[in-house]
Amino acid sequence: MLGNMLKVSQCLRLRAGVRAHHTDSALYLTGRTASYRTNVVVPEIGPLSLERVKRNLAARQLSDQHDLPTLELSQNYVKWFQQEEERALGQFQSSPDSGVMGKALSDLRAERWAVEEKVALATLALPNDLEEDWCKDHDIDIHVQGSPPRFDFAARCHLELAGDLLEMSNHSPQAFYLLGSLSRLELDLSNRDQDYLRQCDLIPFANPDFAKSVVIEGCGVDFFDPKAEFALEPAQDFQDRQSTQGMHLVGGASIYPFVSFLCKNVVQATSALPATFYTSGRRYRPLATFENRGLFNTQQTTAVELFNFSESHDTMKSQLVFLRDKFIELYDSLDIHYKVVALSAPKLHTNESCKLSFQMYSPKLDEYIEVGSIRGHGQYLSERFMLKAVKDNSQDLQNLYCLSGTVLNITKVLGCLVENSQTEGGNFHIAI
């Protein structure tokens, strides 16, 4: 029986393309790799509703990137392996030839781990479920403040307008230095935003600039991709990105440090929910292109970031509306044209169930630049990072519902403010 099972499993492994000797996941470890590596978290991988997954992938235009038939077949075989392994274990305990049975059982378990790994990685690679009432095929403008400026002259770029106040580095097209009034305005905007969020009873937070590979992967980002996030060179406490145990420079104004802090935590006092943390700092991100667009295309930005977590889906949706209204109030105070756009499903990131994009207009480029956002995650992050809360004053635990957002990407906002306040003489005047 064991020999036939191994032949079937090996055929399945060839069909599914399972790697039997290594794993390239920092998030999920099988029993085979657990002998020399430690699980940081244990992500939840439950049964899939393939019809719901198909609708989700179709809405996101990702159907051709996921092999659902193989995933369904592999799921069934994992269950079969587990049942047969239990049966074989009973035979092993009563068999007189324990050496042969033990070897066969060990081989069977290794095959089960290989298929299980295929299922787990394929399942974790699936995008987040969309909000049921979210726009599927087109963007929707849900709020527009003012109108784009119209000049009687050809609009100039903020690089030209800023002059000596903005210096782009000769060594890197993405490196820059703010000087004089622009550097003071950057500080003023940061302090102003933080004061406003504090008045809204949000919780100030101090984040580190680094995150581990497991956190990057858990947020739905491929940490192997050098264009996704920066990776540090190996050191005493961490290795390179290929080892799956790397360290990445992401900046405190990103989702990763918030998730790292909350990872494997249980909220005992649910009366404290919902809760929102915010921070001001840097965001570091490699650029896909080296097109010189000034402050609109830099690998380092200054931003104000937040993270919200709730105990229920309804509360998360109400928090989305609350934060949207607070963002609008803050943006109105900048006295500049902007709009809020509900982005359609194909434009959402893997970890997002919905997204509101706050956009300002660039007269020179004649296009809108995203300078802020509110992103819904549902239980996507909780299922991967074990973010829990006590359920209804019982011993049971439930997953938290999460939102994240960029309140203001100050670097991009500066470029928009300069361009929108320009004069025919090539000057600008920002009145905030």
Segment 13-28 mean pLDDT = 56
Output the pLDDT for position 429. Answer: 87
**What are the tokens at 124?**
């974790």
Whether residue 82 lies inside any domain: the answer is: yes
Whether residue 164 lies inside any domain: the answer is: yes
What sign has the CA pseudo-torsion 234, 239, 243, 249?
negative
Task: Look at residues 76, 95, 124 and tell me which one is the last residue of a structural domain.
Answer: 124
Are residues 313 and 273 located together in one domain of the fold? Answer: yes
Output the pLDDT for position 100. Answer: 62
Segment 282-293 mean pLDDT = 84
1 has pLDDT over 80: no
Residue-wise pLDDT tens digits, 288-345: 777 778 899 999 999 999 999 999 999 999 999 999 999 999 999 999 999 999 999 9
Task: Look at residues 124, 159, 190 and tell me which one is the last residue of a structural domain.
Answer: 124
Whether residue 245 lies inside any domain: the answer is: no
22 has pLDDT over 60: no
Residue-wise pLDDT tens digits, 163-187: 999 998 766 656 889 999 999 999 9
CA distances (Å), origin 179, targets 45, 184, 298, 299:
50, 8, 17, 18
Q: What's the first-to-final CA gap in the chain, in angstroms? A: 78
Output the pLDDT for position 84. Answer: 65
Whether residue 134 lies inside any domain: the answer is: no
- Please give the order of strands across the beta sheet that includes 300-310: 140-145, 338-342, 354-362, 367-378, 401-409, 300-310, 275-284, 203-204
Segment 26-41 mean pLDDT = 78
Classify burial at 159, counting beta carbons within 10 Å of its beta carbon; exposed 0-12, middle 13-18, buried 19 or more: buried
Task: Look at residues 94, 124, 154 and tell me which one is the last residue of a structural domain.
Answer: 124
384 has pLDDT over 70: yes
Are residues 145 and 13 located together in one domain of the fold? Answer: no
Whether residue 416 lies inside any domain: the answer is: yes
Cα of 237 vs its chain's centroid, Å: 24
Are residues 154 and 117 located together in one domain of the fold? Answer: no
Please give the Cα distance from 80 to 85 (Å, whole number): 8
Residue-wise pLDDT tens digits, 394-417: 778 999 999 999 999 999 999 999
Output the pLDDT for position 29. Answer: 81
Please give the Cα distance from 288 to 176 (Å, whole number): 18
Segment 75-97 mean pLDDT = 63
Are residues 173 and 120 located together in one domain of the fold? Answer: no
Are residues 113 and 179 located together in one domain of the fold? Answer: no
Output the pLDDT for position 304. Answer: 98
Are residues 273 and 356 located together in one domain of the fold? Answer: yes
Q: Which residue range forms the structural domain that includes residue 69?
A: 2-124
Are residues 71 and 158 located together in one domain of the fold? Answer: no
CA distances (Å), origin 133, targets 142, 317, 376:
14, 11, 13
Are residues 108 and 155 located together in one domain of the fold? Answer: no
Q: Rounded mean pLDDT of the chain?
A: 87
Segment 266-282 mean pLDDT = 94
The residues near 352 (Cβ < 8 Å, ≥ 6 apart) are 128, 375, 376, 377
Output the pLDDT for position 198. Answer: 97
| 279 DSSP β-pair partners | 305
Output the pLDDT for position 89. Answer: 64
Nearest residue to 401 via CA among 409, 393, 391, 411: 391
| 169 DSSP β-pair partners | none
Are residues 268 and 169 located together in one domain of the fold? Answer: yes
Are residues 276 and 158 located together in one domain of the fold? Answer: yes
Whether residue 144 lies inside any domain: the answer is: yes
The CATH number given to whatever domain includes residue 297 is: 3.30.930.10
Whether residue 388 lies inside any domain: the answer is: yes
Whether residue 331 lies inside any domain: the answer is: yes
Residue 89 backbone phi and psi in degrees, to 5 = -65, -40
237 has pLDDT over 90: no
94 has pLDDT over 70: no
The residues near 278 (Cβ < 8 Å, ≥ 6 apart) are 194, 197, 202, 203, 204, 205, 304, 305, 306, 307, 407
16 has pLDDT over 50: no
Segment 45-66 mean pLDDT = 87
The count of structural domains within the chain is 2
Are residues 265 and 144 located together in one domain of the fold? Answer: yes
Are residues 150 and 117 located together in one domain of the fold? Answer: no
